[in-house]
Amino acid sequence: MKLLLEFHQLSELVLLIDDQQNLRHIFKCFSKLRNLRKLEIWLWLSSLKPYNQDWPSPINDLGKVIGSNPNLTRLDLRWGGPAVGSFSTIFSHVPAGAPLKLEHFAISNCPSDITAIVPHLRSLTSIGLLSAFAPCTLLVQVLHSERIFPPTIRTSHIDDHLITYLSHHPRIVSLSIYATFNEVFGKKILQIMALHSESLTYFATHSSSFISCLEHVENELLLLQCTKLEQLLLWYNYANRIDPPGPPKLVSGHSLRYILAVLKIHVARDVYCASTNYCASTKLIDAGVLQFQVI
């Protein structure tokens, strides 16, 4: 750790920490850095020890690092288990009159006092709602009420609160949904894509849910409106595969041509299919001509 502190001009820091470490000591040491522009914290606390006013969570000391780096523009907080801090405490280390100008913010577990971070989100261009267990409903509601609409959105859950937020969004450029969904939500997602067809250039989601939705003509017509779409990323989870080994339905040449035919892409654009053990990349060189390559 002392060696890292010698890099006074360090601008990016990614920390992977477990609960066997002294968090207060770690955050105190890294608070000596002054030039961070990107801070990413991956933290898992397995302890069920209750934290309260008499015994505050050591995560709150993260605020010392944040407060020491006023030029921070990217903040990614991936904490799990009972690892939840207080945003009111964490961001009290940042002067009230000089909030951060975060351009990217991602979080996996939202504290109840989520509103304390709002002053620092006014410049957002990208947000990640990446909870592993439940939707970040409170944060979505706050973003909506404060009219904070970053053009790039990644989410691990889909619910009616998020659908409403996306529907009122003025301009989505990139949308990633790291979740499976039923046909009801699938239609709503495609309606949102069509609503933002003039700006949406990137869309990512799970292949199984996506292809099921496109089996309905009305959904296919919605996708047809996305004429500005340049990149389509489709995930397939081999870990959950029951069928005999082989390319999943959506990465077959037939299915890829089907997707491209629906989109009626007439310029060079990319379609990607990715999974735990497999990634396929295709590029349409000319209308109706497809190159398929397993990476």
Give yes or no for residue 24 having a pLDDT over 60: yes
* Residue 207 sits in the same domain as residue 149: yes
Residue predicted with more confidence, 10 or 18 = 10
Do 140 and 93 share a structural domain? no
Residue closest to 88 by CA, chosen among 67, 61, 117, 66: 117
Q: Is the same domain home to 106 and 234?
A: no
pLDDT tens-digit map of 196-227 = 999 999 999 888 888 888 888 899 899 889 88
pLDDT, tens digit (0-9, with 9 covering 90-100), for 185-201:
999 999 999 999 999 99
Of residues 233 and 196, the one with the higher pLDDT is: 196
pLDDT at position 87 over 80: yes
pLDDT given at position 261: 55
Count: domains in the chain: 2
Alpha helices in the chain (DSSP H): 2-5, 23-30, 62-67, 87-90, 137-145, 160-168, 183-195, 207-213, 217-224, 253-263
Same domain, 194 and 107: no
Q: Clarify whether residues 109 and 202 are in a common domain.
A: no
Name, in order, each residue with C-beta under 8 angstroms of 215's C-beta and a sequence gap of 6 or more: none
Contact 196, 151 (CB under 8 A): no
The amino acid at residue 253 is G
Which helix (H) or strand (E) segment holds residue 232: the answer is strand 231-236
Domain residue limits at 183? 129-295
Mean pLDDT confidence for 131-147: 89
The three-class DSSP label of residue 141 is: helix
Same domain, 76 and 165: no
| pLDDT digit string, tens, across residues 149-196 | 999 999 999 999 999 999 999 999 999 998 889 999 999 999 999 999
Whether residue 48 is found in the same domain as residue 82: yes
Q: Using the predicted structure, report yes or no on whether residue 281 has a pLDDT greater than 70.
A: no
What is the distance between the alpha carbons of residues 39 and 237, in angstroms, rounded to a whole number? 29
Of 97, 124, 151, at which residue does a domain stop?
124
158 and 295 in a single domain? The answer is yes
| Residue after which a domain boundary falls, among 124, 146, 162 | 124
Residues 187, 275: one domain?
yes
Say what the pLDDT of residue 69 is.
Answer: 96
Question: Whose structure tokens read 């654009």?
Answer: 269
Residue 39 contacts residue 71 (beta carbons within 8 Å): no
**Average pLDDT of the residues of the chain:** 79
User: Each residue of 104-116: pLDDT tens digit?
Assistant: 999 988 888 999 9
How far apart, in whole angstroms, are the C-alpha atoms of residue 230 and residue 204? 11
- Tell me, yes or no, whether 151 and 216 share the same domain: yes
What the block records as the tokens of 66 is 């944040």
The verdict on 164 and 76 lying in the same domain is: no
Q: Is the pLDDT of residue 266 over 60?
A: no
pTM, entire model = 0.81
Going from the C-alpha of 222 to that of each of 185, 187, 265, the distances in angstroms are: 14, 9, 15
- How far is 277 from 240, CA to CA, in rounded Å? 12
Both 269 and 140 in one domain: the answer is yes
Q: Which of these three, 105, 124, 143, is where a domain ends?
A: 124
What CATH number does the domain containing 223 carry? 3.80.10
Q: How far is CA 256 from CA 162, 236, 251, 292, in A?
A: 29, 14, 6, 9
Burial track 224-235 (b if 16+ CB lie within 10 A, e otherwise) = ebbeebeebebb
